[in-house]
Structure 1
Amino acid sequence: MRAAAFAVAVLLPGMAAAQQRQQATRPDDLGQQVERNMRSCIGTSQDVALVARCMDTQRATIAPRLDAAVERLLATQQDPGRRAALADVQAAWAAYRDRRCDFAGSNPERTDTAPADRAACFLQFDVGRVVEIEAQLAPPPAPRQQQQQQQQQRR
């Protein structure tokens, strides 16, 4: 149970932030899907290795969605120079993610949970990036929807 609680505690804050940044609302968004799948995968297990495997599996599941979102975003850039610059931005983001998550998973004080820390980091980054890119690709909300979103954000 501690492993499941650990996974939820590590993932939920980042996914919640990613969801708040998302402009296009869907009845079943990515953060909710990942959370549901994680709870199903982990169940009541206390095995940290299982938690890490569940996170890695979720990451592999969303990888094609991330790749597709990046490709769609690149396709929006008509100017070859901007397209190349955007590809550089994505490569830099991936390099930062990799280094940051490798660092998160190398803490000698957390030897037992380090693999889960690393897996959670990667999953959180990838979910956030999918949400960020898909929000950029989404059509702007209608004026009435914009007003409702602004009112909700003020609350």
Structure 2
Amino acid sequence: MDTIFMLIFFILFVSAIYKMINQIRTIIIRQQVTSLMKCLQPLIVLIFLAISWFGSAPFLGYILSLTAAVMLILSLYNKGFTKDGIIPNMPGAYLNSLLSRKFTFEETSDWLMIEKKSKIKVRFTNDQYQSVYYIDFPLADKEKIIQFAAQHNQIVDVEHYK
């Protein structure tokens, strides 16, 4: 019975990884990934493997742990601008951040770019859900983002963070 549940979770994780990889392929301007996040990736994999090892997991348990670690790692890279929309960080539980929803530019409004010392934070509203979403980008991408949004008839207000 446990093997069946593990197999179901494995299939769900693999389908989620497939979706993430497809999202990553469509990203034109990628979100900012900090050095801390990059350094934590190997630690995440080791923690998942340690949990499997100390829990005396069967082989499928190790595979399940590795696929969960891959999902966490890929979730750092599946956010940003695509050719026809944006994939933001989703508010709420951390699990929401793993699989993000893509919003087309037509579904968004109230764009604001907050320029900070080392990054820019882009905020927009989704008209359908009346929710506000945020995503961070490297400071070097500022002009690219403004031009890209303008190509899609979005006006981006720029504020400087104090």
TM-score, with structure 2 as normaliser = 0.33
Higher strand share: 2
TM-score w.r.t. length of structure 1: 0.34
> Relative contact order (C-alpha < 8 Å, sep 6+): which is higher?
1
- In terms of fraction of residues, the more helix-rich structure is 1
- Structure label with greater radius of gyration: 2
